Amino acid sequence: MIPAGFGYSRAGSAGEALSLLAEHGDEAKLLAGGHSLLPLMKLRLAQPEMLIDIGDVTDLSYVEFRNDHVAIGAGTRHRDVERSTVLAAQAPLVAHAASQVGDPQVRNRGTIGGSLAHGDPASDLPSVALASGASMVVRGPSGERVVPAADFFVGFLETAVGPDELLTEIRFPVAASEGWSFQKFNRRAQDWAIVGASVLAGPGGGVALVNVGPSPTISAAATAALRAGADAVDVGAAAADECDPTDDIHADTAYRRHLVRVLVERAVTEARA
């Protein structure tokens, strides 16, 4: 469990990080909290020649209320997201889900941007971004672009962030008056979810799932049923019927589909309570 050799450089700003990415090309990887990248390096599933540390880039760490959305810097620690009074008032689903990530050690080092950019299909926060209709701000050599969450997660451990780009900000629509719920089923408190679900009620809300496929996904059928006012049982059934989970050592397809139905039903019930 020893990673291959690599170079190391610490960036002082987002601009410097982008310059270093341009200098080192495809062989460079960004390092923030390290909870996603370092385990892959120890298993030698990732062997970057250069690590660019953005953990101390202060201009990527903030939570700001901006009229119709809350902007979160990609370098903001999970713990700061969890404790944000702005999010508690304007987008409480986000703050709650951050409190469920890993354990206190992970939440004090891991970042929201690292979690989303990694694109792990079992991660908690991608489902929140999808259900909330969030947008990702990505900066690169050609400037800045805004990517809807629905277009951000494109495959297994693959997102819309290019090798020469940096996720800088996540924008969550204000949902102060909307009902919400975050549900996940795992073996132990700090484990990845065997299945997870986020629900945001209201006109712009949706139903999103994790660990039921190669990437986090919005359940189109369940979202349509939710917005049409279907009862919780029917929304859960719609999510279960639409998904096609894969087998692994933790659960088979039938069990995961059962969990989807149960968790979505619970989430819709709680969101509407």
CATH of the domain at 89: 3.30.465.10
How far apart CA 213 and CA 96 sit, in angstroms, is 24
pLDDT at position 203 is: 85
pLDDT at 190 over 80: no
221 shares its domain with 190: yes
Q: Is 136 inside any structural domain?
A: yes
Same domain, residue pair 70 and 147:
yes
Q: Answer whether residue 180 shows pLDDT above 80.
A: yes
Q: What is the pLDDT of residue 189?
A: 74
Query: What CA–CA distance (Å, rounded) separates 243 from 245?
Result: 6
Does residue 13 fall inside a structural domain? yes
Q: Residue 211: its pLDDT value, please? A: 96
pLDDT at 59: 94
Predicted structure pTM score: 0.94
Higher pLDDT, 183 or 4: 183
Residues 235-260 have a mean pLDDT of: 96
Q: Looking at residue 44, which CATH number applies to its domain?
A: 3.30.43.10
pLDDT of residue 171: 98
pLDDT > 90? residue 101: yes
133: left (phi > 0), else alpha (psi -120 to 50), else beta? left
**Cα separation of 56 and 89, whole Å?**
27
Count of domains in the chain? Answer: 3
* Cβ–Cβ under 8 Å, residues 233 and 265: yes
Q: Residue 151 pLDDT > 80, yes or no?
A: yes
Residue with tokens 């139903």: 207
Lowest mean pLDDT among 35-44, 139-148, 165-174: 35-44
Residue 108 pLDDT:
93
Quick one: how far is CA 24 from the chain centroid?
Answer: 27
Given this model, what pLDDT does residue 241 score? 98
- 150 closest CA partner among 138, 137, 132, 164: 132
- 162 and 143: one domain? yes
Domain finish residue from 145, 173, 201 = 173
Query: Do residues 106 and 114 make contact, with C-beta atoms less than 8 angstroms apart?
Result: no
Residue 39 token pair: 């385990």
H or E element, residue 215: none
- 130 and 83 within one domain: yes
Q: Cα separation of 12 and 85, whole Å?
A: 27
Instruction: Please state, in angstroms and rounded to a whole number, the distance separating the CA atoms of residues 151 and 267.
Output: 24
Range of the domain at 240: 180-271
Instruction: State pLDDT tens for residues 44-79.
Output: 988 989 999 998 899 999 999 999 999 999 999 999
More confident: 155 or 188? 155
Instruction: Look at residue 1 in the predicted model and tell me its pLDDT.
Output: 74
CA distance 207 to 197: 7
Mean pLDDT of the chain: 94
Same domain for 46 and 131, yes or no, is: no
Per-residue pLDDT band for 137 (boundaries 50, 70, 90) equals very high
Q: How many percent of the chain have pLDDT more than 90?
A: 83
192, pLDDT greater than 90: no
Can you tell me which residue has the tokens 């979690």?
A: 115
